[in-house]
Amino acid sequence: MEVAVGGGWDVTRNASQPSGRRLEDRIAWAVRNADGVVAICVALVIGVLDVLDKNFDNNIVSGATLLVLAALVYGSLTERRRRLADIRGATEGTSRAIEDLAMVRTLSGAEVTLAHEKARRNTARWVFKGGTGTYLRAVTLPLCVEEAKRQRRSLSMKIDILNPADDRVCAAYARFRRTFGHRDDGGAFAEWTAERTSKESYATVLAAAWHRQRLDTLEIDVHLSSVAPTLRFDLSDTCLIITQDDPRRVSLYVERGRPLYDYYVTELHQGREQAVKLDLREATPLSDEPTVDEARRLLDRLGLPLPASFTDPDVGDIIDRALRAEDPYRR
C-alpha cells in the first residue's frame, strides 16, 4: 500500500520499501531542492521564536506571516516537483513513440539482399510465409543448410506456402502476380499461370524433403495454405524481413526485441495452425538427382499427388525448379 508522508512531501512510499532506501530518497529530494528547504527551515525557526516571544501583538502577526511564507515556499516546491514529474513523463512518452516509429526500417535494392545475408548468419531458426517460395528454394534454404553443416549445428525451418493442389488459390495467386507484378525487360513476371504456381509450390515441397534427407539436424515443416498472400515474411533469430514480389517496392526490416517482431511470431504461428501440415518423416527416399518416379512416389506418400494432367516432362520441370531454382532477383 502506498501512503503520503506528512501530507506535504508529495513523495509516496511502499510499506515494504526498506527504510534505508526511503531515507536516501528524502536526502536526494532535499539536495535537489536545497534553496526551498533552507527557506522553509529559516522561516519556521524565526516564526516559532516570534510566536513564543512575550510581545504577542506584533510578534504573533509577524510569526504567522513567516509561517504562511514557509507554507508558500513549500507549495512552490511541491508544484515544481509535480511539474518535473510531468515533464519527465511526457519526455518518456515521446521517447517511446519515437522508438516505436523507428522499430521498422525500410530497405530497398541491394539492402534487401544484405539484410537476408545478415539474417542467415548464425541463425538456428527460419520461418517463411509467402506464395510459392521461389527465393526460399533458390537462396535461403540451401544457404541456411550449408551454414548449419559448416557449423555442425541444428536448424529449424517452418515453411508456409500455397497449397499446390488447390486450383482456386493457385489461380488467385497467379492473377495477383499478373496484375501487380513488375515486368522487367525479360518479362520475368509475365508468365504467371495457375499451372506455374502449382509447379512452384510442388517444387518447394520436393526441395524441403530433399534437403531434410541430407541433413539429420534439419527439422523442417511444410504447411500448405489456401489463402493467397500478397507479402512474404522471412523470420530468423535476429530479425523479420517483409518483402513483395516487385523489387522496386520498399521492404521492411524489424529487429528482434521490438514488439512488432513478437507480434509476427504469433501471427505466423497462427497462420500455420490453420494450414495443412505435411509430415516429411513419411517422405520416400530421394537420390541426389531425383527421378520422375521418385518425385511422384514421394508426393503420393505425402498425400499430395500430382494432377493426372502432369506429364513426365512436367515432373522433370518441378525437379529442376526444386534443386536448381534461380534467384528471381538476380540481375
The per-residue pLDDT for 187 is 46
Among 40-49, 153-162, 245-254, top mean pLDDT goes to 153-162
pLDDT at residue 95 tops 60: no
What whole-number distance in Å separates Cα of residue 150 and Cα of residue 245?
31
The per-residue pLDDT for 65 is 64
pLDDT at residue 271 tops 80: yes
The per-residue pLDDT for 103 is 76
Work out the percent of the chain whose per-residue pLDDT is above 70: 71
The per-residue pLDDT for 47 is 63
Whole-number average pLDDT of the chain: 83
The per-residue pLDDT for 328 is 82
- 44 or 269, greater pLDDT: 269
For the ranges 25-29, 64-68, 182-186, 290-294, the lowest mean pLDDT is seen at 182-186
pLDDT at residue 326 tops 80: yes
Q: Are 297 and 291 in contact (CB under 8 A)?
A: no
The per-residue pLDDT for 82 is 72
pLDDT at residue 4 tops 50: no
Instruction: Give me the residue label for grid cell 512474404.
Output: 232
Read off φ and ψ for residue 209, nearest 5 degrees. -65, -40
| Mean pLDDT of the 304-317 span | 96
Q: Are 304 and 275 in contact (CB under 8 A)?
A: no
- 70 or 308, greater pLDDT: 308
- Which residue intervals of the chain are DSSP H helices? 19-32, 34-52, 56-102, 110-120, 134-135, 141-151, 167-180, 194-212, 259-273, 292-301, 312-323
Domain 105-323 homologous superfamily, CATH: Endonuclease Chain A (3.30.870.10)
- 36 or 231, greater pLDDT: 231
Sign of torsion over alpha carbons 237, 238, 242, 248: negative
Among 27-36, 188-197, 288-297, 320-329, top mean pLDDT goes to 288-297
Q: What is the DSSP letter of 306?
A: P
87 confidence band (pLDDT: 50, 70, 90): confident
Question: Residue 283: what residue type?
Answer: A
The per-residue pLDDT for 16 is 53
pLDDT at residue 49 tops 60: yes
The per-residue pLDDT for 48 is 66
pLDDT at residue 185 tops 70: no
33 confidence band (pLDDT: 50, 70, 90): low
pLDDT at residue 150 tops 50: yes
What whole-number distance in Å separates Cα of residue 118 and Cα of residue 105?
15
Question: Residue 59: what residue type?
Answer: N
pLDDT at residue 52 tops 50: yes
What whole-number distance in Å separates Cα of residue 126 and Cα of residue 279?
18
Residue closest to 205 by CA, chosen among 312, 284, 152 = 284
70 confidence band (pLDDT: 50, 70, 90): low
Domain boundaries, the chain: 2-102, 105-323
pLDDT at residue 327 tops 70: yes
By three-state DSSP, how is residue 192 classified?
coil
The per-residue pLDDT for 99 is 53
The per-residue pLDDT for 188 is 46
| Mean pLDDT of the 261-290 span | 95
